[in-house]
């Protein structure tokens, strides 16, 4: 069980190198036996769920929520799917609307405070797998969605959800949006805007009354401007400030009742460092929340390994180790049956 603090390797002390290492330097190989399903939503739209089957019906299921513009190809998704597969768990990734390679039917997209689809997927999985315990992990934007879902108490959460992990959450969206527009972090902002603008232009052609004119979209240069001109009005907020204040995860940490590990790096280039101090204060009297704020790790980085040619993902060990602590003996027995069979035939 990996519960030790994170220690970065000597060659990965820089938070930006940590952030991009898994995506560009050592991508995770795909996990076998993964399928995609299209699920219709209650509002006449659809989402894609990427699924890893478990051999045992009682085996736990890991439900994943990805970050901004992520999908099943995100390096951490592959690492977490592999961690689930090794334990005999099932796994399900919710691809947020428009993140599966196709535009969703409704004008709306997804955003950091939209918990309806996450609640719907958790509920459907609980109904489909009544014998299985659910555990959840949200990363970056998906982590903010998960924290808000668990702490707000508005959208339903199934009782079979035993525990959760929230990784590199942008707890203060307003300050994070300003922070990512400075220094080297501009690289990340431009990366996100490349696809966000393209999707918005495609949606504008379908729904010209719901989106700004194409030339206005093309001139968007910051995430703040994108949220002010597109995210906020499209999803019922007055402006970007209203969206950020009503959706920021730090406001919901106190209300979490499901055992939850919140793991972040103090050197996360997506967020000012003192935001995590505010989260510590908010979570201080909540026994359901475990905070692990490490000095290093970047944004969803947390790379470990002795040399640049032998690296691994600390989160892929720490996340399931925490979730394991909140699974009962029956859950563990179901999850280990497949591993025992494999060992007997090896």
Which residues sit opposite 138 in a β-bridge? 65, 166
Averaged pLDDT for residues 179-195: 95
* pLDDT above 70 (res 37): yes
Note the pLDDT of residue 288: 98
Instruction: Tally Cβ neighbours within 10 Å of residue 213.
Output: 10
> 345 pLDDT exceeds 50?
no
Residue 30's pLDDT is 73
Mean pLDDT calculated for residue range 98-121: 97
Q: Judge contact between 120 and 42, C-beta under 8 A.
A: yes
Residue 189 and residue 263 in contact, taking contact as beta carbons nearer than 8 Å: no
Instruction: Tell me the CB-side half-sphere exposure of residue 183, using CA atoms within 13 A.
Output: 9
pLDDT exceeds cutoff 90 at 186: yes
pLDDT at res. 33: 82
pLDDT confidence band for 335 (50 / 70 / 90): low
List, for residues 200-258, the tens digit of each pLDDT value. Answer: 999 999 999 999 999 999 999 999 999 999 999 999 999 999 999 999 999 999 999 99
Q: What is the mean pLDDT of residues 14-43?
A: 85
334/346 Cα distance (integer angstroms): 20
When pLDDT is cut at 50, 70 and 90, the band that residue 168 belongs to is: very high
Which pLDDT value is given to residue 208? Answer: 97
Top-confidence residue, 261 or 285: 261
- The arithmetic mean of pLDDT across residues 174-180, rounded, is 97
Q: pLDDT-derived band of residue 175, with 50, 70 and 90 as boundaries?
A: very high
Give percent of the chain with pLDDT exceeding 90.
87
CATH number, span 15-171+253-338: 3.40.50.1820
- Model confidence at 1, pLDDT cuts 50, 70, 90, reads very low
Structure tokens at 51: 């699924």
**Confidence class for position 31, pLDDT limits 50, 70, 90:** confident
Q: Give the residue among 133, 131, 54, 3 at the shortest CA–CA distance from 339.
A: 54
Residue 26 pLDDT more than 90?
A: no
Task: Give the integer Cα–Cα distance in Å for 300 and 52.
Answer: 22
Interatomic CA distance for residues 50 and 90, integer angstroms: 11
- Indicate the range of 201-205, 257-261, 310-314, 321-325 predicted with least confidence: 310-314
Q: What angle do CA 108, 109, 115 make, to 5 degrees?
A: 100
Q: Is 49 exposed, middle or buried (0-12, 13-18, 19+ CB in 10 A)?
A: buried
Tell me how far apart the alpha carbons of residues 217 and 219 are, in angstroms, rounded to a whole number: 5
Segment (H or E) for 165: strand 161-167
Residue 331 has what pLDDT?
Answer: 64
Residues 6+ apart with CB under 8 A from 213: 204
Q: For the chain, what is the mean pLDDT?
A: 93
pLDDT score recorded for residue 309: 85
Q: Which residues are catalytic?
A: 140, 268, 299
- Note the pLDDT tens digit of each residue in 121-130: 999 999 999 9
Partners of residue 37 on adjacent β-strands: 49
Residue 246 structure tokens: 């009503």
Number of helices (H), then strands (E), in the chain: 13, 10
pLDDT at 344: 47
Cα–Cα distance measured from residue 165 to residue 207, given in angstroms and rounded to the nearest whole number = 37
pLDDT > 90? residue 22: no
Largest CA distance in the chain: 63
CA torsion, points 73, 75, 78, 80, in degrees to nearest 10? -140
Domain with CATH 3.40.50.1820 in the chain: 15-171+253-338
Closest alpha carbon to 316 in 58, 50, 70, 86: 86
At 59-87, the pLDDT tens digits run 999 999 999 999 999 999 999 999 999 99
Instruction: Collapse the DSSP code of 101 into the 3-class scheme (helix H, G, I; strand E, B; otherwise coil) and give the result.
Output: coil
* Sign of the torsion angle spanned by Cα atoms 196, 313, 346, 87: negative
């Amino acid at each position: 069980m990996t519960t030790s603090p994170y220690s970065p390797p000597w060659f990965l002390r820089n938070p930006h190198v940590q952030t991009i290492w898994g995506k560009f330097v050592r991508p995770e190989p795909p996990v076998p036996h993964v399928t995609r399903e299209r699920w219709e939503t209650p509002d006449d739209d659809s989402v894609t769920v990427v699924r890893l089957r478990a051999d045992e019906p009682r085996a736990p299921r890991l439900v994943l929520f990805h970050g901004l513009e992520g999908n099943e190809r995100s390096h951490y998704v592959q690492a977490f799917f592999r961690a689930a597969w090794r334990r005999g768990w099932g796994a399900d990734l919710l691809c947020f609307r428009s993140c599966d390679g196709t535009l969703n039917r409704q004008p709306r997209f997804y955003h950091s405070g939209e918990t309806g689809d996450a609640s719907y997927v958790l509920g459907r999985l609980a109904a489909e797998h009544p014998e299985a315990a659910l555990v959840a992990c949200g990363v970056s934007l998906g982590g903010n969605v998960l924290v808000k879902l668990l702490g707000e108490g508005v959208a339903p959460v199934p009782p079979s959800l035993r525990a959760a992990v929230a990784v590199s959450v942008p707890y203060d969206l307003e300050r994070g949006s300003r922070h990512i527009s400075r220094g080297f972090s501009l690289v990340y902002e431009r990366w996100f805007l490349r696809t966000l603008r393209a999707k918005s232009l495609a949606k504008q052609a379908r729904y010209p009354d719901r989106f700004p004119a194409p030339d206005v979209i093309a001139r968007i240069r910051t995430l703040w401007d994108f949220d002010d001109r597109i995210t906020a009005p499209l999803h019922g907020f007055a402006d970007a400030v209203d969206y950020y204040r009503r959706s920021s995860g730090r406001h919901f940490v106190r209300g979490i009742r499901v055992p939850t590990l919140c793991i972040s790096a103090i050197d996360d280039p997506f967020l000012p460092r003192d935001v995590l101090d505010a989260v510590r204060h908010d979570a201080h009297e909540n026994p359901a929340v475990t905070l692990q704020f490490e000095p290093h790790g970047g944004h969803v980085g947390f790379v470990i390994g002795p040399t640049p040619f032998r690296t691994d993902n600390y989160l892929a060990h720490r996340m399931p180790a925490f979730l394991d602590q909140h699974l009962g003996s029956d859950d563990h027995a179901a999850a280990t049956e497949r591993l025992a069979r494999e060992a007997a035939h090896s």
